[in-house]
Amino acid sequence: MPLNPMTRRPVHALARSHAVARLRAVAQLRRAGCGALATAIACITLAAQEPVLLRDPKTKDLFNSARIAIFGGPGGIARLQGLRFKGRSRFAGSGDDLISATVEIRVLLPDRFLRIDTGSFGRRQIGYAGDTSLDRMESATGHITPDSRSAAAVLQADRSELARLMLGTAMYASQEVPMKLQTRDTPIDMPGLPEALGIDATGETFAARIAFDGKSHLPVRIVFWSGDRTVRTSAFSDRRNVGGMQVPYAIVTTAGDRIVDELMFDEVTVNPPLTANDFRR
């Protein structure tokens, strides 16, 4: 597999196709007589495009309508650099009870994500920075519980977590999870039932169904498999305008009729002043 000359990482075929498209678009601008500044702006805007392949016209319509509803226009996604959520959480513990905590979620695009839950139990964090997992479970007494999963499995789970969060929040696909979107002829088995207004999102290690509200065109649900192949649904609601973006202030994940993760935010910041130093164990 070819390597990216800047990062020395493998370049997926879908990502390569988008890189070629960006170069062709800039070349077209130059041939059309656009000046250097216009070309530079186009490069910046096109570089923000994610590795997404829209496979049919209905998918393209749903995708674009959702982007317009979230950002006020199809190109608004190019302004998004990061997000910070602060509020309260409840998540499933070892039994049926939900553990309460305060929560902060930091996202710095394209490849940094950190969720920190803090409560009487101690501190739990999940996320990654580039190729490094930031997962850590620390008890109130400072004891660190080792993760039984392999490092590769942890990183894959973290990347899928961010991919679902950003699809439901902004219809954004992260670079680590290139995906194909379609409303028909999905080539693999999918979680849950097909949606009348829905898109199937698939990648090498990713499968999720995205459902949209027929009136607002906003994404309202992400249906996916958990690690044990249980079907789970994340519902995105209580959207509010923050910095010109319709941001969900509530994200509730269920398995059947049971809540397994509940996020209620008190504060959301679009493009906060985050740096690499904000993403560490």
- Per-residue pLDDT reduced to its tens digit, 10-56: 444 444 444 444 444 444 434 434 344 333 333 333 334 567 899 99
Q: Is the domain of 34 the same as that of 84?
A: no
Any domain includes 53: no
Interval 191-230: pLDDT, tens: 999 999 999 999 999 999 999 999 999 999 999 999 888 9
Q: What is the pLDDT of residue 30?
A: 43
Q: Is the domain of 22 the same as that of 90?
A: no
Q: Given pLDDT bands bounded at 50, 70 and 90, which one contains residue 182?
A: very high
* Calpha distance 226→23 (Å, rounded): 38
Q: Is the domain of 100 the same as that of 188?
A: yes
Closest CA to 202 of 227, 182, 222, 231: 182
- Give the domain extent around 33: 1-47
How much is the pTM? 0.82
Q: Is the domain of 94 the same as that of 231?
A: yes
* pLDDT: which is higher, 8 or 187: 187
Q: Is the domain of 122 the same as that of 19?
A: no
* Calpha distance 259→91 (Å, rounded): 8
Q: Strands of 4-145 (E only): list them.
A: 52-54, 82-92, 98-108, 112-119, 122-129, 132-133, 136-139
